[in-house]
């Protein structure tokens, strides 16, 4: 038993229609026509929390919102891809703005923090893990350096305040006191109430005190210099 010519034609056209429908589903799986938008509009939708899935292709990105509507935006260079990736992965309440981010454009990389490249292609998970480790090491080294600088500044500030306090003590009391002792001893010697030995002792005490004061001034200036070096800032005094 053979099929008639009409039946064969009907089957042929049914196969054509079925193939067309299958091809349409493959090209447009959401069942909706994609809307062309620019990146500014896409960023606004991401900020508004409307985009749930982004797929980066060779020269464009495909975004699907919470209503299953598809949008397409042109990506003309890697910088645009980098910026889009960062925008999609901005943290809001501990979660990225976009639930799922896929890269189908080939091997891609995005730049973070202290200059470590992080590959994001699914085909480079090993390199991505390695880059994340290097990034963490660089961050740790940066933190250690920051802690060291802070420690140096704190130590320099403590030393400066100590020397400043010693200078103030000399200027507000110690120098005046030894001067008074020498003057009173000299007057007492003239009045016959003191000896030459006592005057010499007062003079030696004043001289030693002044020597200590000059050394303290020097130490004060050096501590100020150390503080300027630690802060990399000229300080007025």
Highest-confidence segment of 126-130, 137-141, 216-220, 232-236: 216-220
User: What digits encode the pLDDT tens for the residues 162-202?
Assistant: 999 999 999 998 999 999 999 999 999 898 888 999 989 99
Cα gap 82→71, rounded to integer Å:
19
The 3-state DSSP class for residue 46 equals helix
From 31, 32, 29, 37, select the one nearest 71 (Cα to Cα): 37
Q: Which residues of 21-52 are buried (b: 16+ CB within 10 A; e: fewer)?
A: eeeeeeeeeeeeebeeeebeebbebbeeebbe
Residue 30: pLDDT band by 50, 70, 90 thresholds? very low
27-137 CATH, one of 3.40.50.2300, 1.10.10.10, 3.30.720.210, 3.60.150.10: 3.30.720.210
Domain assignments of the chain as residue spans, ordered by start: 27-137, 148-231
- The string of pLDDT tens digits covering residues 108-167 is 444 334 444 455 555 556 677 787 888 888 888 888 888 888 888 888 889 889 999 999
Distances (CA, A) of 217 to 7, 167, 201, 208, 233: 113, 6, 24, 14, 21
Integer angstrom CA distances of residue 167 from 112, 141, 145, 175, 181: 50, 39, 33, 10, 20
pLDDT of residue 116: 46
């Amino acid at each position: 038993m053979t099929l008639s010519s009409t039946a064969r034609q009907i089957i042929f056209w049914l196969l054509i229609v079925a193939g067309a429908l299958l091809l349409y589903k493959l090209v447009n799986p959401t069942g909706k026509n994609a809307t062309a938008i620019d990146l500014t509009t896409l960023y606004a939708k991401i900020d508004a929390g409307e985009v749930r899935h982004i797929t980066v292709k060779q020269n464009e990105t495909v975004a699907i919102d919470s209503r299953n509507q598809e949008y397409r935006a042109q990506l003309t260079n890697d910088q645009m891809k980098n910026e889009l990736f960062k925008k999609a992965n901005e943290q809001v309440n501990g979660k990225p703005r976009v639930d799922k981010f896929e890269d189908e454009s080939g091997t891609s990389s995005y730049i973070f923090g202290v200059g470590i490249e992080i590959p994001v292609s699914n085909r480079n998970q090993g390199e991505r893990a390695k880059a994340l480790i290097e990034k963490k090491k660089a961050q740790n080294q940066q933190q250690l350096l920051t802690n060291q600088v802070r420690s140096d500044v704190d130590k320099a500030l403590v030393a400066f305040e100590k020397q400043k306090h010693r200078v103030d003590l000399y200027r507000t009391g110690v120098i005046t006191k030894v001067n008074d002792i020498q003057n009173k001893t000299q007057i007492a010697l003239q009045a016959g109430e003191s000896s030459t030995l006592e005057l010499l002792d007062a003079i030696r005490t004043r001289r030693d005190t002044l020597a200590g004061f000059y050394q303290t001034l020097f130490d004060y200036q050096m501590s100020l210099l150390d503080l300027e070096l630690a802060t990399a800032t000229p300080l007025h005094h």
